[in-house]
Structure formats: C-alpha cells, structure tokens
A and B are shown apart, each in its own frame.
Chain A
Amino acid sequence: MNDMIQMHYVVPADDFTRAGEASSSVKSKLKLMGVKPEIIRKVAIAMYEGEINMVIHASGGDIDVTVTPEEIVMVLKDSGPGIADIEQAMQAGFSTAPDNIRALGFGAGMGLPNMKKYTDELLIESEVGVGTTVTMKVKMV
C-alpha cells in the first residue's frame, strides 16, 4: 500500500509574476488531504519563502515535496549563484534582494529566518557557482 505522495514542481526562471504558484498548489492539496491547519500554515510559509528565494536569486529550479503520515519533506534545488556565507544569509534583516521588488514588500531579510522558524528541520547545502539545495521537514505531530 502506498502511504507516500510525491509532488514535483518546476519553478520557471524567467517570470517573477509566477513565483508562489508551487506553494499555493501544495497548500491546496494539503487542505484537500485534511492535514491539520497549523501544519499546512507552517509548510505553506516555509515553502513560499524558499520558492521566492529561488526566483529572486537563482533563476528558478525544482521543488520536490513528499508527504507521509509522519512528516512533509520539501527539497528545493536550484543551479543559481550559491550562498557564499550561509550564516550571514541566516541573519534576520540581511537581504540581497534587488531594489525593484522592494515596493512589493520583499527585501526585509526574513526569508531564511522564517524558513527556520516554521520547520522542524532545515538543511542548506550550497556551492558558489554551482547552486543551492534546501531541505525542510515539518512533522505531522
């Protein structure tokens, strides 16, 4: 019996206005599955922040979401510039977002801190010039 669901999303490189669609889709699916609202909220926020980062900084990439009775795992993989100093990037308020999207509310520098806050596990693997893979887990407690 299959007790695991996998969802794959391609986050497009060239259209900033499509950013956030993958997280929105996952949120709808989790609602249909009857996942607890507090869990859905954590997954939706963490994935949204990760997806936006992918578009703003890395020209898109791939997202794989796996749902089991125990947890929800999100793997966000891009071939972007990579993060040189992960500790610095994790600081609240630190942002390298371009100015042209600040009017829309971006660039507060809270993306990675929020991803840490709303997940039970956060792993960032990155190599400059190669890309970044972010793995996040939210338990279905």
Chain B
Amino acid sequence: MNEFFTSVHLKEQLCMGCINCIKRCPTQAIRVRKGKAVITKEFCIDCGECIRICPHHAKEATYDSLEIMKNFEYTVALPAPSLYGQFNHLDDVNIVLTALKKMGFDSVYEVSGAAELVSEMSRHYVANNQDKWPLISTACPSVVRLIQVRFPNLLEHLLPICAPVDLAATLASKKAMQETGLPREKIGILFISPCPAKVTAVKSPIGIEHSEIDGVLAMKDIYPILLPYMKDSIDKVENLSISGRIGISWGGTGGEAGGLLSESYLAADGIENVIRVLEDLEDNKLDPLEFIELNACAGGCVGGVLTVENPYAAKIRLKKLRKYLPIACSHLENGDIEEGFWNDEVKYQPVFNIGKNMKESIENMARVESMYERFPKLDCGACGAPTCKALAEDIVRGVAKEEDCIHILREVIHKISGELSRLDTKK
C-alpha cells in the first residue's frame, strides 16, 4: 500500500506556473517551484479543486483506461448513481445498465443498490450509537482524508461503515464467483467513477484493509461510448436495476442523509463549506445533530471532476428518475453485513506538524511568526506559496528561502545597489 498515493497530479508540459491552483487548494498543498505547480502529496486530499480551476488543463486525475477490461475473463461494471444524471431524456436507469452490458461488461451491479444496504445499516448504527452523535458520513474519500489529517478530534465521529462502492464490490465479486465458478483473479470489478478521490480510495483505502475494486474508470470516458448502445437498448431493456429512491438519491447532496429517515441532520457540499462545518463542529458551535453528510464536490457526487454534465442539471435528472421508484429495492435479508463495517483503525496523520515534538514545534512556531512579520502580507503568490504565512512555514520546514519573496528580494537588491553605488563614489 503506497501511503501517499494521490490520483491528482500535474502534467508538467502544460503548467504555466500561474498561481490559480495554489490559491484554490483547500489544504495549501501546492507550490510553484521552478515555474511548475507541484503538489505535496502528504497534504493532498484529492478534492480536485486544482483540476477544476486550472486554465491550462495541467492538473489531471490518474485512473484506469478501458484497456483494463482486457485483463479479466469476466467483468462487472459498478456504475455510481451520478452516472444516471449524465444523460438527457433518460426515464429508466435500466437503459444505462443494459447498454453497459452491450458495451462489453459481463454483468452490472449498481452502487445505488449497495447504497440502500449501507443506508439500512447506517439507520441501525446511528440509532444505537448516540454517544457518537453527530456521526459523519464516510462515503466521500476526500472528506475522510481531510478529517484524518486536519481534524483528529472528529475521528471518533466517523461512521464506520463502508462506502457504497466498497460494499458493492464485495457483494459483486462474491456473486460473480458464485455464478461463474471463476477464481477471484479472473474477475474484474470495475467502478465507473465521478471523481479521482475514489481512485486513491482503492489504492490507499481508509477504514478497510483492502478494496475489492480492481479498476476505476472515469465517467467521462464511458459516456461517449455508452450513448450509441443506449440508443440501441431502448427497445430491448433488461431489468437489471436493484435500487429505488434512496439509492438513486445518493448521487446528489442530501441523498445519504435522506436515506437515514431522520430530521436531525446537516448536508453540506463544496470543500470550503465542508471545512467550515468541520471547524464549527470541532468548536461545538453546531446544534446537536444525529448525522452530518459531507461531500467535497458542489452538488454532491454529480459534481465530481470526472463527470460530464453540470452538477445541478444532473441532480434534477436524478430527482426525476427517482420520482416514482419504490423507496428502496435492496434490503438487508439477514441483518447487518459483516463486510459492510470498517475493519481498519483510522488514525490521525499529523502531516502538517511544524515540529517532531512539542519543544521543536514551539520553537518552529516562534520562527514562523517572526519570519511572517518580515513579509508584506500581500499573499501575492509570486514566491510560489499561496500566502505569506505559508511561505514562512515553508522556510521553517526548510523547503524555501526568504529571498523567494520578491518584496524581500527587492529590499536585498536595493541594499546591494546602494552599497555598489557607495563603492562607486569612493573612486
């Protein structure tokens, strides 16, 4: 397991060294060095803000190409519910599922179906764990990573239930082995994802030791290929859907909370808003709640950077698709599913610490403060850091120097030129 794998990365050739992404990154993980905006992997939470803002398309996500299907004898597609919102004039999700089979997947297992099982397990868990209220949703890997590196006090509030895609992968792989008799390695469980954070969640899972997902495909890669198959499928639709209103709703903000059938919840989206909610929660400023749903992307998963459609348009389409569906089509038949719970402890990862121990941290904090006093507080970004405070920290961490600040540099040059002119007049 690669501890600091991040899906989001820089395509150096396209990077112009501007300051758009460094200013937007919610964890200040990016610095412009030697004219390129490099990401400090330990600080990156894969939220995709830099991908959204980059005017030169220099930031991108790593994910698997469709070629990965060839590695397996039997492939199962796991469509995220946000996929259904990408299509215009869609009135039946089975058209998408039938088309997925036509395009080459051997079978389909809806993530929204597993989502309904997660909702049912969550309803029981929330009801039985009042001491952990408010419980925080853990379906968004960016949010979980953010809490792990920045909000250690809130770790105990994380809902220790697998994200729907992970439960779907566990159930789909079991089902495929049973139905085909093939060994696990020959079966490919492939997730059709709206976002890069899910790629990282597969390679470096948090909360579970190992993910059953074999590959993560981008929704925007699947979309153009699926369209003609969907047109073909309209007359011969197979009934493959296993989800109802609750499952489909998971694709947008409020869906996960809605599935809890509780009034006492808060649902927020957009990484800056998520940070504000977490700060308030940490400071006990929020009213007592049972559950908090947090999504890094505006609109929810439909707003992920690997989607095609405007998130708000997609969300309305999901509302239409779910309107007359039964409330839920997937139900727990034999009580909670053991593999649906987390099996790995989530520990605080203090990646931002300014010192290795308290003594060093105090010394370094003092150095940061005094360094910061020398800067003009313009947060201009010319040094490559998003703020003057960040540059001060970088200097103390040993990854930058004072003269990186062009204002300090100007003072230095001024001083040198003053001395040179004095030398000159001495002639």
A contact set with B: CB distance below 8 Å: 16-21, 23-24, 44-45, 48, 98-101, 103-105
Chain A residues whose C-beta falls within 8 Å of the C-beta of B57 in the assembled complex: none
The one of A17, A23, A44, A101 that contacts B328, using a Cβ cutoff of 8 Å = A17
Is the pair A100, B261 in contact by a Cβ cutoff of 8 Å?
Answer: yes
Interface residue SS majority, chain A: helix
CA–CA, A20 and B262, complex, Å: 19
Given contacts A17-B331, A44-B324, contact A100 B245 (CB under 8 A): no
Is B265 interfacial (CB 8 A cutoff)?
yes
Given contacts A103-B267, A105-B319, contact A16 B324 (CB under 8 A): no
Chain A residues whose C-beta falls within 8 Å of the C-beta of B154 in the assembled complex: none
B contact set with A: CB distance below 8 Å: 116, 120, 244-246, 249, 254-255, 257-259, 261-263, 265, 267, 319, 322-328, 331
Given contacts A103-B265, A104-B258, A105-B319, contact A20 B326 (CB under 8 A): yes
| Listed A/B pairs (29) with beta-carbon separation below 8 Å | A16-B261, A17-B116, A17-B120, A17-B244, A17-B328, A17-B331, A18-B326, A18-B331, A19-B326, A19-B327, A20-B324, A20-B326, A20-B327, A23-B324, A24-B326, A99-B263, A100-B262, A100-B263, A101-B258, A103-B254, A103-B255, A103-B258, A103-B265, A104-B245, A104-B246, A104-B327, A105-B245, A105-B319, A105-B322
**Which chain A residue has the least Cβ–Cβ distance from B116?**
A17
Shortest beta-carbon distance from B237 to chain A in Å: 10
**Which chain A residue has the least Cβ–Cβ distance from B330?**
A17
Chain B residues whose C-beta falls within 8 Å of the C-beta of A16 in the assembled complex: 261, 327
- Other than A18-B328, A98-B263, A104-B259, give 11 A-B pairs with Cβ distance below 8 A: A16-B261, A18-B326, A20-B244, A20-B245, A20-B327, A23-B324, A24-B326, A103-B254, A103-B257, A104-B246, A105-B322
Shortest beta-carbon distance from A40 to chain B in Å: 11
**Which chain B residue has the least Cβ–Cβ distance from A21?**
B326
Given contacts A17-B120, A17-B328, contact A105 B323 (CB under 8 A): yes
CA–CA, A23 and B319, complex, Å: 18
The one of B262, B322, B327 that contacts A18, using a Cβ cutoff of 8 Å = B327
CA–CA, A104 and B257, complex, Å: 9
**Which chain A residue has the least Cβ–Cβ distance from B256?**
A103
CA–CA, A24 and B92, complex, Å: 13
Shortest beta-carbon distance from A102 to chain B in Å: 8
Is the pair A101, B324 in contact by a Cβ cutoff of 8 Å?
Answer: no
Of the listed residues B265, B319, B324, the one surrounded by the most CB atoms of chain A closer than 10 A to its CB is B324
CA–CA, A44 and B324, complex, Å: 8
CA–CA, A104 and B319, complex, Å: 9
CA–CA, A100 and B291, complex, Å: 12
Chain B residues whose C-beta falls within 8 Å of the C-beta of A99 in the assembled complex: 263
CA–CA, A23 and B323, complex, Å: 13
Given contacts A44-B324, A48-B324, A105-B323, contact A17 B262 (CB under 8 A): no
Is the pair A101, B325 in contact by a Cβ cutoff of 8 Å?
Answer: no
Chain B residues whose C-beta falls within 8 Å of the C-beta of A20 in the assembled complex: 244-245, 324-327
**Which chain B residue has the least Cβ–Cβ distance from A41?**
B324
Chain A residues whose C-beta falls within 8 Å of the C-beta of B331 in the assembled complex: 17-18
CA–CA, A101 and B322, complex, Å: 14
CA–CA, A68 and B25, complex, Å: 64
Chain A residues whose C-beta falls within 8 Å of the C-beta of B263 in the assembled complex: 98-100
